[in-house]
Amino acid sequence: MARYDPLPAGETNGDSEDVRLMQLVSAGDMVAFEQLVERHQALVAGTVARMLGNNSDVEDVAQQVFVRVWKSAKRYQPRAKFTTWLLKITRNLVFNELRRRKRHALNPLQSEEGGEEMQLKDEHVQTPDASLLEAELQGAIESAIGQLPDSQRMAVILRRYEELSYDQIADVLDQSVPAVKSLLFRARTELRARLKAYLKADPL
């Protein structure tokens, strides 16, 4: 069951706009829905891609997230930030997809390790030596994160890339703040061990 916490006192204009759009979406306003998708598609697609790797499933899962938003709009209650609610939906669908992959003995890391690293190499052609090192480092970081257990990986992605607070991550994962801190501690310990050949500083 979804758990909602009160919005912080310093609610931003962005939060208010999301609530306004969701009220319109709940009444069947497709234009408002398209605006909502445009506002948050980068957040959803980025989170899905980092969890699943770069492959054809990313777009499908991201679309499913917003389909779920549309279908659930009438039940949405703005007692938490819209992005927290949105990321909870994203988490559920991503975890479902990861479970499906495990049942079919698939490896979600192969395309991420190969495809993204090659893309980075192609983008930095002006300084080949630097680009190769950067691509190797980025590939190692993404690979190390990709090998974490699902909940740890999600916590790291929300903290590292989306800069969510511990409270927000706890809401998304339906866990306590101490549990989230424990997840991140274990994840960082594992990442340091895997990346010690590349990094002297804490990668997170």
77-101 pLDDT, tens digit each: 888 889 999 999 999 999 999 998 8
Token pair, residue 75, equals 């039940």
Mean pLDDT of all residues in 125-131? 55
Rounded CA gap, 5 and 11, in Å? 13
- Round to the nearest angstrom and report the end-to-end CA distance of the chain: 31
Token pair, residue 192, equals 């340091």
Residue 60 or residue 9, greater confidence:
60
Which band of pLDDT confidence, cut at 50, 70 and 90, is reported for residue 12?
low
Rounded CA gap, 67 and 60, in Å? 10
Q: How far is CA 187 from the centre of its chain?
A: 16
Does residue 122 surpass a pLDDT of 70? no
CATH topology of domain 12-107: Rna Polymerase Sigma Factor; Chain: A (1.10.1740)
Q: How far is CA 46 from the centre of its chain?
A: 6
Rounded CA gap, 4 and 84, in Å? 9
Has this prediction a pTM greater than 0.85? no
> Which has the minimum average pLDDT: 25-29, 86-90, 135-139, 153-157?
135-139
26-59 pLDDT, tens digit each: 999 999 999 999 999 999 999 999 999 877 789 9
Could you tell me how many residues make up the chain? 204
Cα atoms found within 13 Å of the Cα of residue 172, Cβ hemisphere only: 31
**Residue pointed to by tokens 């993404």:** 142
Mean pLDDT of all residues in 107-129? 44
Does residue 10 surpass a pLDDT of 50? no
DSSP string, the chain: -----PPPTT--HHHHHHHHHHHHHHTT-HHHHHHHHHHHHHHHHHHHHHHH-SSTHHHHHHHHHHHHHHHHGGG---SS-HHHHHHHHHHHHHHHHHHHHHHTT--TTHHHHHHHHHHHHHH--SSHHHHHHHHHHHHHHHHHHHTS-HHHHHHHHHHHTS---HHHHHHHHT--HHHHHHHHHHHHHHHHHHHTTT-SS---
Rounded CA gap, 159 and 122, in Å? 28
- Report the chain's mean pLDDT, rounded to a whole number: 82
> Which has the minimum average pLDDT: 79-93, 134-148, 163-177, 181-195?
134-148
Does residue 149 surpass a pLDDT of 80? yes
Mean pLDDT of all residues in 97-122? 57
Does residue 127 surpass a pLDDT of 60? no
pLDDT at 136 (0 to 100): 79
Does residue 120 surpass a pLDDT of 80? no
pLDDT at 198 (0 to 100): 76
